[in-house]
Structure 1
Amino acid sequence: MLRRLSLAAVTSLVALSAAVPAASAATGTLPLPLPLPLLDGDDGRTRLTITVSGTGDPAADGTFGLTCGPAGGSHPATGQACDRLTELADRGVDPFAPVPKDALCTQQFGGPATARVTGTWQGRDIDAVFDRTDGCAISRWNNLRPVLPGVR
């Protein structure tokens, strides 16, 4: 029985080996896959819209675009912001993650500044809101400087 199975497997393999070149000859050469572009930075996958208000600095409030790989957009510090995002990614830190619900945060008010960041970072969709309502929120904001502006 085992000999019969082995013979059937070898016969099938020989038949398939002969069929593949014959099929290729009949249809011509197969197309090669298209190469993916090589980009620097964080692979061009960062495209963010940052809307900031209440900072006390008219130059810091507004809506700014930020692209990385290469750095560009209307953000006032594109190069430094992209460098910071790359640094955080290299360290495995997600700066857009919310404060954990069980975090113990100091009860201090850092001012009325708010920010919303939407777009794409490291190939994933981002929709994050920032404020300065307690110590954890202030730390989260400060961790993302200069992507988010300083506050007066």
Structure 2
Amino acid sequence: MLRRIVLTATASAAALFAAVPVAGASPLPFPLPLLSGADSAEELPDHLTVAVSAAGARTDGTYELECGPTGGTHPVAQAACDRLDELARERQESGKDPFAPVAEDQMCTQQMGGPATAHITGTWQGRRVDATFSRTNGCEISRWQTMEPILPNTRS
């Protein structure tokens, strides 16, 4: 098995260096990632900053959430990390990104779920996250609820 890996790596490297680069271009067709000791993105801990406003006095604020191991100032950190793990499994199965905005052409019910907004930034599953959430229509309400308990439950 090791011999097969070495032969494959050698053949791949030879193919990369056989191509003649364009003047001023990188000799590689794509940038290689820098590894920081972890073998894969899943091994890096998740770290998110969750800023919530207009959701209610007891839930408004900015929280740090760390998963792998669980920590930070998030009020329900373990439950939030458990939900992130569920979302990661769902993403592997469906390919759906829970941090993606609602598609512009998506038809949504015109209902108001309240003035609450949230902004989540940081790293999840080894990638950068910068997502804004609101409760301005049915699609946004559903998107918010998908992120509970990372985001607070705003239903009375």
> Is the structural similarity TM-score above 0.5?
yes
SS in structure 1 of the partner of residue 123 of structure 2:
strand
Deviations 1:31-54 (A, max 9, x none): xxxx94589xx5343100000011
Deviations 1:56-84 (A, max 9, x none): 2x221000000000111000011110110
Please give the alpha-carbon distance, in whole angstroms, between the structure 1 residues aligned to 2:60 and 2:67.
Answer: 21
Q: Counterpart in 1 of 2:115? A: 112
Query: Normalising by structure 2, what TM-score?
Result: 0.69
Q: Considering only aligned residues, what root-mean-square deviation do their CA atoms show, in Å?
A: 2.0
SS in structure 1 of the partner of residue 143 of structure 2:
helix
Please give the alpha-carbon distance, in whole angstroms, between the structure 1 residues aligned to 2:144 and 2:62.
Answer: 17
Q: Counterpart in 2 of 1:59? A: 58
Q: Counterpart in 2 of 1:136? A: 139
Please give the alpha-carbon distance, in whole angstroms, between the structure 1 residues aligned to 2:81 and 2:134.
Answer: 21
Please give the alpha-carbon distance, in whole angstroms, between the structure 2 residues aligned to 1:53 and 1:45.
Answer: 26
Query: Highest Rg: 1 or 2?
Result: 1
Please give the alpha-carbon distance, in whole angstroms, between the structure 1 residues aligned to 2:39 and 2:68.
Answer: 10
Deviations 1:2-49 (A, max 9, x none): xxxxxxxxxxxxxxxxxxxxxxxxxxxxxxxxx94589xx53431000
Q: How does 1:2-151 map to 2 (within 5 A)?
A: 36=37, 42-56=42-56, 58-92=57-91, 93-151=96-154
List alignment gaps of at least 5 residues for structure 1: 1-34
Q: Counterpart in 2 of 1:16? A: none
Q: Sequence identity of aligned pairs in percent? A: 54
Whether contact under 8 Å (1:115, 1:129) holds in the other structure is: yes
Query: Normalising by structure 1, what TM-score?
Result: 0.71
SS in structure 2 of the partner of residue 91 of structure 1:
helix
List alignment gaps of at least 5 residues for structure 2: 1-35
- Give the letter aligned to residue 149 of structure 2: P
Question: How many residues of Structure 1 are paired with residues of Structure 2 in the alignment?
Answer: 116
Whether contact under 8 Å (2:123, 2:129) holds in the other structure is: yes
